[in-house]
Amino acid sequence: MPGIINKKILKVEQQIVAQPHSREAEEAILGCVLIKSELFGEVKEFIPKREVFYYDTSQIVWDKMKSLAKNHKEIDPISILAILNKEEKTKVTGYYLTGLCANIATTATIQTYCNIVLEKYLQRELIAATYKIQKSAFENNEEFDSLLKFIKKTTDELTSLTPSKDPTLDQIVNQTIESIETSGNYVKFGFRKLDNLAGGMTKGEITVIAGRPSHGKTTFAVNLVKKFIDQGLRVLCINREMTNIEMMKKLIVLESGKLSYSDVRMNNMNDQSYEELVSVNEKIVDKYTNRLFMCDTARDLAASTAQIMKHSPDVVIDDYIQLIKMDGYDQRRFELETVMNEYKWLAKTYKIVPVLISQLNRDIEKRIDPVPKMSDLAESGSIEQVAENVLFVYYDYKVNYEESETGKDQIQIVAAKVRYGENRKLLFGFNGDRVLFHENVSSNGHPIVVAENDEEIKDMLTRVKQMDFTTGK
């Protein structure tokens, strides 16, 4: 374990070693700017703070260069010396400034010098960060979540300081062609109606599913999980409202097609139900292992990011975003704005499809027309701005059970914003106790089942005999 760490030295295993730096590169940068002051703007992109320079003299000269540039004055040795002469003490002399210029053969390689200096600074910051992480981990003097936050913050800061290596035009063209040929960035909802309407989802883009409590948005999300797994995708579910166990119960009922969620939840099971439970459990273990990952302990985005890095999913379902904690915000809407922007960054960086579950404002219940619209998104207009797709789940029977236009067995998906399609309302069949959304809706709301072989026909007939059409079970 390192014993001492500061800006200049590092004590490692009783040996004192200098932190990474390059005097030659630092002095070359300063000399180039002194010879050709218009280079200051280019250098500034690589030197966001004075600490990027290792030596005090370099930092002092850089500060004076910034002062001259701010006042739109020429940057040269005489101007800098004039500023320095007004100060009582300085390590920088006229001889030093002249020497900076004398050692420069050409200014053409200034970007190379900048890269060297910035890289050395990033190495120093990384050493400091890793030391703190190691020390905290050994001494256990910080909460694990706090440590994860620090790691993420450090990573983000260092990444932001790294000059972007933008791809060339031919690289972009090749990447685009590859994406078209492989369809690797395209993810289907798995519902034909929705895929035809919205054109599916694209990795790097956000889909928001919103609705009032008990309107079926989580049930819809569970159906999407099954659809994604059926496509061979890797899915990470971040459960903030319900536990992993409760979500798995819903998946078990959905995969079964025979079990009742209310019976499973309340353990109101007979021998036949238990046999079905054992059978579907084997199916889920075989089908979902190394495909589905769950987490119900993530409070903030740092923990969510750790889960994404750990499992490398194709799709992340986060239920729901209003429960994500962010420190340092007085107003909730600013907090959610940060959440959305961070998820956008995660989507692009890790090439994932975030499906974010959101609540709607309570004011919707006071309107004559309770069908959701964009203005109902809870607490933040940034959801509408950042998301490529916004879908509302609206269960009319929940609101107007006596005069419902669609009835108990039907539910609406309102496509309020669709980046690659059109806005429209879609009608789905719905059975909450079977955790089921389906597309085959008849006039009376019951599913239309299409059998492909004799075994499916037999199974269908068995189910029909067992169904109670008054309850939908």
pLDDT digits (tens, 9 = 90+) for 212-262: 888 999 999 999 999 999 999 999 999 998 999 999 999 999 999 999 999
DSSP 42-58: HHHTT-SSGGGS-SHHH
Residue 305 has pLDDT above 90, yes or no: no
User: pLDDT (tens digit, 9 = 90+) per residue, 148-205?
Assistant: 777 777 777 777 666 655 666 776 677 666 666 555 678 999 999 999 998 889 999 9
Q: CATH for 184-466, among 3.40.640.10, 1.10.357.10, 3.40.50.720, 3.40.50.300?
A: 3.40.50.300
445 pLDDT tier (thresholds 50, 70, 90)? very low
Contact in structure between 423 and 390 (CB atoms under 8 Å): no
Residue with tokens 């983000």: 156
Q: At what angle do helices 94-102 and 77-84 cross, to 10 degrees?
A: 160
Q: Please give the structure tokens belonging to residue 457.
A: 């026909």
pLDDT for the residue numbered 42: 83
| Alpha-carbon torsion (188, 193, 199, 205), positive or negative | negative
CB atoms inside a 10 Å sphere around CB 218:
24
Instruction: Tell me the CA distances in angstroms from 69 to 76, 78, 198, 403, one per residue in order.
Output: 11, 14, 51, 71
Residue 68 has pLDDT above 70, yes or no: yes
Q: What is the mean pLDDT of the chain?
A: 82
pLDDT for the residue numbered 192: 93
Residue 357 has pLDDT above 90, yes or no: yes
14 pLDDT tier (thresholds 50, 70, 90)? very low
Strand 436-438 versus strand 424-431 pairing type: antiparallel
Specify the higher pLDDT residue, 419 or 403: 419
| CA pair distance 426, 428, nearest whole angstrom | 7
Bridge partners for 360 per DSSP: 377
Each domain of the chain, given as residue ranges in start order, spans 4-127, 184-466
Q: Assign domain 4-127 to its CATH architecture.
A: Orthogonal Bundle (1.10)
CB atoms inside a 10 Å sphere around CB 182:
9
What's the N-to-C CA distance of the chain in angstroms? 63
